[in-house]
Amino acid sequence: MNESYQCDELIRDFEKSSDRCEPLWDTKLCWPSAAVNETLELPCPRREFDNQTASRDCILFDDGSGTDRSIWTMGNYSYCQDPDNYTGLFIAVAHEKYLQTEDQMWEHKLLVTSQLIYLLSFLVLAVALVLFLLFKKLRNARTRLHMHMLSATIMQVVMWLMHSVLFDTQLLSAYMYLEVLSKINVHVAFKFSNDFRLIVEQMFTRLNSYLHYIVLAGLERYFETTSLFWLLMEGWFLYELICRKPLETKTSIKRYVIIGWGVPIIVTSPWMVYHVYSAHNDVYWVKHDLTVYLIAVSAFLTFVVRMIL
């Protein structure tokens, strides 16, 4: 049995813990589990370096949400390489290139632009909601429906911004760094970029196993669905007001509130339960898996009903 298979068994048998790093196979060596702040040293993978060792540290990583996780640093194979492989110089050059190109990459510009647009939308929606709250003379059944719709849309924007800042920005930075590495023609570029990719994957995969990420993703989908349902409630209310009860002076919005806030729970719950109890190996299950159609179909149906009304 070769070393990679042995490492796979160690990974499968490992019980996750915040104070230990899980076993790691980095295509050269199998690193067993280690405690936080512990440094492991293993013999170099190549036989010509019999008396030399490679090292790797287990550290705590702050993912920006207040939760620390144990991860491996990049492996130090400097004693296992030929003298002309200037790994330290490559790292410095790669980081300098990354800083130079970060603001020029269209992915970074698109993300920043989207964040600014959502922030502006939040400010406009918040001002509109405050005006409805301050001027009580504007209060009637229709404006109360407007307030519910504004609240749902504001929460959708807030959830999107939180997800974008906490996760999207970090993921984009990691993959932009890999893009820079792939364009630098240095002898150790291939080895180093592979090592960096493994560390990035360990940092950002299996995010769905963390409760805070699951809750944030679920709330983002819930408020996204809720804002669409409140558009439907607006159309339904106007239909009732004009076609069915034009002479009624007092109109209750209780049923609209129950449907507008309650039905999205029924729609998003199966999607969230599926992801809580299923295994995923990709980073972005929230935006790229087929189960999103559980929500997309309901959103499409709300638009169809809205057009009919």
In the chain, CATH 4.10.1240.10 covers 3-72
Highest mean pLDDT: which range of 11-20, 37-46, 80-89, 219-228: 219-228
CB of 11 closer than 8 Å to CB of 31: no
Tell me how far apart the alpha carbons of residues 39 and 163 are, in angstroms, rounded to a whole number.
Answer: 33
Q: Reply yes or no on whether the pLDDT at 2 is more than 50.
A: yes
Share of the chain above pLDDT 90, in %: 11
CA neighbor of 275 nearest in space, from 260, 291, 263, 264 = 291
CATH number for the domain formed by residue range(s) 3-72: 4.10.1240.10
The reported pLDDT for the residue numbered 303 is 57
Nearest 5°: phi and psi at 53? -130, 155
CA angle 14, 15, 21 (to 5 degrees): 70
The reported pLDDT for the residue numbered 45 is 75
Kindly list the distances between the CA atom of residue 265 and the CA atoms of 165, 206, 290, in Å, as whole numbers in the listed order. Answer: 25, 25, 19
Mean pLDDT of the chain: 73
Tell me how far apart the alpha carbons of residues 42 and 93 are, in angstroms, rounded to a whole number.
Answer: 28
Q: Reply yes or no on whether the pLDDT at 273 is more than 70.
A: yes
Which pLDDT band holds residue 298 (cuts at 50, 70, 90)?
low
SS3 (DSSP) at 60 = strand
The reported pLDDT for the residue numbered 308 is 60
The reported pLDDT for the residue numbered 201 is 53
In the chain, CATH 1.20.1070.10 covers 86-308
89-114 pLDDT, tens digit each:
445 555 555 555 555 566 677 878 88
The reported pLDDT for the residue numbered 177 is 60
The reported pLDDT for the residue numbered 235 is 82
Higher pLDDT, residue 298 or 215: 215
Q: Reply yes or no on whether the pLDDT at 290 is more than 90.
A: no
The reported pLDDT for the residue numbered 122 is 95
Tell me how far apart the alpha carbons of residues 303 and 89 are, in angstroms, rounded to a whole number.
Answer: 57
CB of 258 closer than 8 Å to CB of 242: no
Residues comprising the chain, all counted: 309
| CB-based contacts of 59, cutoff 8 Å, min separation 6 | 36, 37, 70, 71, 72, 73
229-250 pLDDT, tens digit each:
888 888 888 888 777 665 555 6
Does the global pTM surpass 0.75?
no
CA neighbor of 60 nearest in space, from 35, 78, 83 = 35
176-229 pLDDT, tens digit each:
666 655 555 444 445 555 555 555 555 444 444 456 677 788 888 899 889 888
Q: Reply yes or no on whether the pLDDT at 84 is more than 50.
A: no
User: In the CATH hierarchy, which top-level class contains the domain 86-308?
Assistant: mainly alpha
What letters, b where the CB count within 10 A reaches 16 and e where it falls short, cover 141-169?
beebbbbbbbbbbbbbbbbbbebbebbbb
Which pLDDT band holds residue 158 (cuts at 50, 70, 90)?
very high
39-69 pLDDT, tens digit each:
998 888 765 445 678 888 888 876 666 677 7
The reported pLDDT for the residue numbered 288 is 45
